C-alpha cells in the first residue's frame, strides 16, 4: 500500500529498508538473586511436570492395566483396555497408539452377539480420527506444506504418506457413517472429519457421497482480499503449543517485535526481534530470558513508567490444585534484556492457578495496577487478586478490601471505563458461572453490577474485551463462549452449524454500551449466532475502514477437536460477516495468542497467531498473515503519558476526519486488545478513504487531561506527549515496494 495514495497499486514486500535493533546485548546479562530463584522454581516445575498435564503418566498407567490382563481375557475386555491405552498414547504423542486401536478393532470384529457393533463403531471412529490427525501432523507440521492446514481452498496434501493416511481416515469414518443413525452425535462428528479428509485430498465436494457432503458454499463467507501466510520466510519458526503472544516494540527501534510462550512448563519463552529487513531473529538467549518458561497467556505493560514494555506471565491455568505455579513479572531493562522481578515486586507471596490478567490505572494515580483472575475450585480456593502499584517497583494485594475477589473460575478479565465516569471498571468472565461487572466506585472499592447491566452471560464464557464496535464513542463489551456441555457433542455442533442447523450452545455475545452504564445484547442482529468454541481472540482493523474486526482461535482439548479459526469483518458498525475463507484465515490448528499489528510499518495491520493445543500431538508452527492492503488511510500514534501512565493504557482517542465530503469520527482506546491477545500499545488507526484529518482528541487516563492535535497529516506515524502543544513525527523505518507489480 502506498502511503501517499488512497489506493495502493503496488504489492508491498514484507520487508523494511533498514537494519534495526543493533543495540541488542551480545550475551545474556548477569541476573540478580530473585531472577535466579524464579528460574530454579520453573526448572523444578519442568522436571516434575514437563507438559503440565500428565499425558505420559496416564499412558503408562493404562499400559500397566493392559499388561495385567490374563492371556485368556475375553476379546471385549482386551479391546476395551487396548482402546484406552491407544487413546492415551496418542494424546501423549506416542504413535504406537494407532496400532493398539487397530488391534482393538480387529478384536471387536470377533465379538459375538449384538454388543459387537457397540465396540466396533467407537473404535472405527477413533481410528479414523487418529489417521486424519497423523496425516495433518505430517503434512502441516513435519513437512510444513504451505496452505495444507487451511480450509476452504487450502492446498491438498502432497506427501504420499499423508495422503494414504487421509484415505485410511475416510475408510474408517465411512464405517461409522454407514452404520450410525443420522441423528446420533457421532454421525455428525464423523461427517465433519470425513469432509475435512476429502478436502485434504483435494476431492471436496465432488468425491463425497451426497448424503455425507457438506456443500462447498457452506464454507464460503463474504468476499475479501487474501492474506499471504509468511511466518516461515520471516524467520518465525517457533513450534509450540497453546500459549500467548505479544506484538510490541520491545527495543524501541520503531519496529514491532514478537514474544511467544506456551503452556507446557518446559517450553522456553522466546523473543523475536524485527530485523528491519522483512524478518525476525531469535534474540531469546541474549535477552536474559533463558529458563523463563511456560505461559498460556502473556501481556505487556510498562509498570515502572520508564518507557520500555515489560511483560507479565500468568501460569497454572486449568490445573486446579496442581496449578499453584508462580507468575512472572519480567522487567525490560531498556537494552533488549529482561529480568524477572516477581519476588522483589511482592507478586510471589502466594500462587494460584490462572491464565488471565489485565493492567490499568484503577486508582488514577499515574501508574498501572494489576488484576489477576484466578481459577477458584472447591479443591483449590483461589480468590482473584488486585495488586496496587506502589510506584516504587512493588505491589500490594488489595482485592479483598476492594471487593473484587470474585471466588469463581475466572477465564478472562477486561478493563474499561464503560460508563465514562473517568474510573476504570472491570469485567470478569467466569466459566460455567455468572460473570461479573465490577463498577469502580472511585474510592478504592468496586460493586458488582452485572445483573443490573444485563451482562451476566453467556454462562460458558471465555475471552472477552471492551471496545467500540459501532464507533459511537461508547465502550461495548464482547464475551466469547467455550461451551462444551450442550445436548450435542461440541464437534457435532460445529458440523451442524455448517449444515445450517441452529446452535444449541452459547455463542459469542456482543453487548453495545450506551456510555452511561447500560448495555444491549445485539448478537443475533450482528450475525453472531453460531457457537464457535473460542479459546483465543483479538481484534483490529484489517481493511483500515475505521471499524474494528475480530479473529477467533477455536478448538477444545481433545484429539478429535479440529475446526477452522474464524475471522469476522465489521460491516461499518452494523454487523459482522465471516471472511475466513477468502482471507485465508481458516487454519485448522488450535489457536490462542493473537496479535493484530503493523509489523512492516506500511500502515495496515498484519495478523500473528500462536498455534497449538495442549496435547502433545497438537503442536503447530505459528502463522503470520501479511496484509495485502485495501487502499485506505491510516494514522499511527505513540502516546507518552506524563501525569498519566507512561504507555497511556486506557487513553481514549477520537479522530475526526473528512471522508467523501462528510465529517465522521473514528474512536480508539489504547490497550493490548482482547484478554487473550497481545496487540502493540501504539494506536494503529484505520481512517477509511479520509481526505484529511481535522483533529485527534485525547482523554488521558488517570489524569483526565484533554488534548487536541489539530490537522495531523494522513498516513503518518506520530508521537504525542501528554500536555505538549505539538506532536513529533516519528521517523519510522521505511518499507520497500515492488515496482514490478
Question: So what's the pLDDT on residue 5?
Answer: 33
Question: So what's the pLDDT on residue 3?
Answer: 36
Question: So what's the pLDDT on residue 71?
Answer: 82
Task: Give pLDDT tens digits for 295-319.
Answer: 999 999 999 999 999 999 999 999 9
Question: So what's the pLDDT on residue 736?
Answer: 43
Q: φ, ψ for residue 392 (rounded to 5)? A: -120, 20
Question: So what's the pLDDT on residue 20?
Answer: 34
Question: So what's the pLDDT on residue 25?
Answer: 45
- Helical H segments across 499-603, by residue range: 580-583
Task: Give pLDDT tens digits for 162-197.
Answer: 999 999 999 999 999 999 999 888 999 999 999 999
Question: What string of DSSP letters covers 478-513?
Answer: EEEE----SSS-HHHHHHHHHTTPPP-S---EEEEE
Task: Give pLDDT tens digits for 383-405.
Answer: 999 999 999 999 999 999 999 99
3-state secondary structure 308-342: CCEEEECCECCCHHHCCCCCEEEEECCCCCEEECC
- 552, β-bridge pairs: 537, 566
Question: So what's the pLDDT on residue 201?
Answer: 97
Find, among 3, 169, 116, 149, the residue nearest to 600 by Cα: 3
Within 10 angstroms of residue 308's Cβ, the number of other Cβ atoms is 22
Task: Give pLDDT tens digits for 673-691.
Answer: 999 889 999 999 999 999 9
Question: So what's the pLDDT on residue 65?
Answer: 80
Question: So what's the pLDDT on residue 558?
Answer: 87
Task: Give pLDDT tens digits for 608-622.
Answer: 999 999 888 889 999
Region class of 366: left (phi > 0), else alpha (psi between -120 and 50), else beta = left
Q: Across residues 92-107, what is the average pLDDT?
A: 91
Q: Please check the confidence at residue 78 and state whether its pLDDT lies above 50.
A: yes
Question: So what's the pLDDT on residue 592?
Answer: 95
650, 358 contact by CB (below 8 A):
no
Q: Across residues 62-81, what is the average pLDDT?
A: 85
Q: Please check the confidence at residue 363 and state whether its pLDDT lies above 90.
A: yes
Residues 6+ apart with CB under 8 A from 418: 425, 427, 437, 466, 474, 475, 477, 513, 517, 519
Distance CA(52)–CA(145), nearest Å, equals 30
Distance CA(464)–CA(479), nearest Å, equals 4
The grid coordinates listed for 725 are 502543544
Distance CA(226)–CA(567), nearest Å, equals 12
Find, among 303, 276, 244, the residue nearest to 674 by Cα: 244
Q: Across residues 201-228, what is the average pLDDT?
A: 96
Highest mean pLDDT of the ranges 6-15, 625-634, 727-736? 625-634
416, 438 contact by CB (below 8 A):
no
* pTM for the structure as a whole: 0.94
- Residue 61 pLDDT class (50, 70, 90 cuts): confident
Question: So what's the pLDDT on residue 1?
Answer: 36
Give the residue, 592 or 64, on which the prediction is more confident: 592
Task: Give pLDDT tens digits for 4-43.
Answer: 333 332 323 233 332 333 344 457 889 999 999 999 999 9
Question: So what's the pLDDT on residue 52?
Answer: 67
Distance CA(632)–CA(7), nearest Å, equals 7
Lowest mean pLDDT among 56-65, 537-546, 720-729: 56-65
DSSP code, position 254: S
Question: What string of DSSP letters covers 600-667?
Answer: TSSSS-EEEEEEB-SSGGGBEE-EEEEP---S--EEEEEEE-SSS-TT-TT-EEEEEEEETTEEEEEE
- Helical H segments across 137-233, by residue range: 160-179, 185-200
3-state SS, residue 564: coil
Full strand arrangement of the beta sheet holding 576-578: 534-540, 549-554, 566-570, 576-578
Question: So what's the pLDDT on residue 734?
Answer: 57
Task: Give pLDDT tens digits for 646-662.
Answer: 999 999 999 999 999 99
Within 10 angstroms of residue 210's Cβ, the number of other Cβ atoms is 7
595, 608 contact by CB (below 8 A):
yes
Sign of CA dihedral 261, 265, 268, 269: positive
Question: So what's the pLDDT on residue 559?
Answer: 84
Question: So what's the pLDDT on residue 739?
Answer: 29
Where is 372: in which H helix or E strand? strand 369-374
- Residue 406 pLDDT class (50, 70, 90 cuts): very high
Burial class (CB in 10 A: 0-12, 13-18, 19+), 211: exposed
Mean pLDDT across the chain: 92
Residues 6+ apart with CB under 8 A from 26: 286
Question: What string of DSSP letters covers 419-461?
Answer: T-SSS-EEEEEETTS--EEEEE-SSS-EEE-HHHHT----TTE
Distance CA(116)–CA(575), nearest Å, equals 51
DSSP code, position 161: H
* Preceding omega of 192 cis (within 30 degrees of 0): no
Amino acid at each position: 500500500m502506498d502511503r501517499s495514495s488512497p489506493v495502493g497499486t503496488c504489492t508491498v514486500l514484507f520487508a523494511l529498508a533498514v537494519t534495526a535493533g543493533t543495540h541488542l546485548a551480545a550475551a545474556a546479562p548477569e541476573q540478580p538473586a530473585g531472577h535466579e530463584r524464579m528460574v530454579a522454581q520453573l526448572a523444578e516445575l519442568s522436571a516434575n511436570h514437563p507438559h503440565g498435564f500428565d499425558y505420559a503418566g496416564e499412558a503408562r498407567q493404562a499400559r500397566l492395566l493392559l499388561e495385567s490382563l490374563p492371556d485368556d481375557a475375553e476379546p471385549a475386555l482386551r479391546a476395551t483396555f487396548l482402546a484406552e491405552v491407544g487413546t492415551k498414547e496418542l494424546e501423549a504423542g506416542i504413535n504406537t497408539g494407532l496400532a493398539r486401536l487397530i488391534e482393538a478393532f480387529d478384536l471387536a470384529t470377533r465379538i459375538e452377539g449384538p454388543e459387537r457393533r457397540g465396540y466396533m463403531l467407537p473404535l472405527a471412529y477413533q481410528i479414523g480420527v487418529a489417521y486424519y490427525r497423523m496425516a495433518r501432523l505430517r503434512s502441516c507440521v513435519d513437512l510444513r506444506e504451505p496452505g495444507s492446514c487451511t480450509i476452504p481452498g487450502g492446498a491438498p496434501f502432497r506427501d504420499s504418506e499423508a495422503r494414504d493416511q487421509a484415505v485410511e481416515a475416510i475408510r474408517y469414518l465411512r464405517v461409522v457413517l454407514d452404520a450410525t443413525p443420522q441423528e446420533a452425535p457421532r454421525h455428525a462428528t464423523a461427517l465433519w472429519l470425513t469432509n475435512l479428509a476429502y478436502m485434504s485430498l483435494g476431492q471436496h465436494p465432488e468425491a463425497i457421497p451426497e448424503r455425507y457432503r457438506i456443500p462447498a458454499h457452506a464454507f464460503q463467507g463474504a468476499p475479501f482480499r487474501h492474506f499471504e501466510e509468511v511466518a516461515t520466510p520471516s524467520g518465525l519458526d517457533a513450534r509450540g503449543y497453546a500459549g500467548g503472544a505479544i506484538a510490541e516494540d520491545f527495543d524501541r527501534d520503531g519496529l514491532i517485535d514478537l514474544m511467544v510462550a506456551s503452556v507446557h512448563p518446559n517450553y522456553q519463552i522466546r523473543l523475536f526481534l524485527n530485523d528491519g529487513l522483512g524478518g525476525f531473529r531469535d534474540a531469546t538467549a541474549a535477552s536474559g530470558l533463558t529458563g523463563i518458561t511456560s505461559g498460556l497467556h502473556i501481556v505487556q505493560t510498562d509498570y515502572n513508567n520508564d518507557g520500555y514494555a515489560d511483560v507479565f506471565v500468568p501460569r497454572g491455568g486449568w490445573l486446579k490444585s496442581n496449578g499453584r505455579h508462580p507468575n512472572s513479572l519480567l522487567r525490560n531493562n531498556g537494552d533488549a534484556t529482561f529480568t524477572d522481578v516477581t519476588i522483589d515486586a511482592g507478586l510471589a507471596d502466594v500462587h494460584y492457578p490462572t491464565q488471565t490478567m489485565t493492567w490499568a490505572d484503577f486508582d488514577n494515580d499515574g501508574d498501572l495496577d494489576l488484576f489477576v483472575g484466578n481459577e477458584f475450585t472447591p479443591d483449590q480456593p483461589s480468590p482473584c487478586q488486585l495488586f496496587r502499584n506502589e510506584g516504587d517497583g512493588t505491589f500490594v494485594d488489595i482485592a479483598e478490601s476492594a471487593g473484587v475477589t470474585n471466588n469463581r473460575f475466572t477465564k478472562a478479565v477486561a478493563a474499561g471505563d464503560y460508563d465514562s465516569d473517568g474510573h476504570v471498571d472491570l469485567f470478569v468472565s467466569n466459566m460455567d458461572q455468572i460473570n461479573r461487572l465490577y463498577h469502580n466506585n472511585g474510592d478504592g472499592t468496586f460493586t458488582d453490577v452485572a445483573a443490573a447491566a444485563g451482562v451476566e452471560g453467556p454462562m460458558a464464557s471465555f475471552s472477552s474485551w471492551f471496545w467500540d464496535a459501532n464507533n459511537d464513542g461508547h465502550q461495548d463489551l464482547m464475551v466469547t463462549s467455550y461451551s462444551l456441555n450442550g445436548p450435542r457433542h461440541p464437534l457435532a455442533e460445529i458440523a451442524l452449524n455448517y449444515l445450517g442447523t441452529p446452535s444449541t450452545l452459547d455463542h459469542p455475545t456482543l453487548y453495545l454500551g450506551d456510555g452511561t452504564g447500560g448495555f444491549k445484547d445485539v448478537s443475533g442482529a450482528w450475525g453472531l449466532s453460531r457457537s464457535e468454541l473460542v479459546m483465543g481472540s483479538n481484534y483490529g482493523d484489517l481493511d483500515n475502514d475505521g471499524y474494528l474486526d475480530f479473529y477467533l482461535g477455536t478448538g477444545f482439548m481433545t484429539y478429535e477437536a479440529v475446526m477452522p479459526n474464524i475471522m469476522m469483518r465489521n460491516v461499518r458498525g452494523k454487523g459482522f460477516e465471516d471472511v475466513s475463507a477468502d482471507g485465508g484465515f481458516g487454519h485448522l490448528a488450535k489457536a490462542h495468542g493473537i496479535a493484530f499489528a503493523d509489523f512492516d510499518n506500511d500502515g495496515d495491520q498484519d495478523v500473528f497467531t500462536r498455534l497449538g493445543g495442549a496435547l502433545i500431538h497438537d503442536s503447530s508452527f505459528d502463522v503470520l498473515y501479511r496484509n495485502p492492503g485495501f487502499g485506505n488511510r491510516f494514522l499511527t500514534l505513540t502516546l507518552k503519558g506524563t501525569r498519566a501512565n507512561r504507555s497511556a493504557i486506557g487513553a481514549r482517542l477520537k479522530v475526526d476526519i473528512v471522508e467523501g465530503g462528510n465529517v465522521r469520527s473514528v474512536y480508539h482506546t489504547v490497550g493490548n486488545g482482547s484478554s487473550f491477545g497481545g496487540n502493540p500499545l501504539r494506536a494503529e488507526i484505520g481512517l477509511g478513504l479520509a481526505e484529511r484529518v481535522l483533529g485527534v482528541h485525547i482523554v488521558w487516563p488517570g489524569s483526565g487531561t484533554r488534548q487536541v492535535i489539530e490537522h495531523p497529516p494522513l498516513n503518518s506515524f506520530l508521537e504525542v506527549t501528554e500536555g505538549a502543544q505539538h506532536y513529533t513525527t516519528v521517523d519510522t523505518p521505511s518499507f520497500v515496494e515492488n515496482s514490478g507489480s
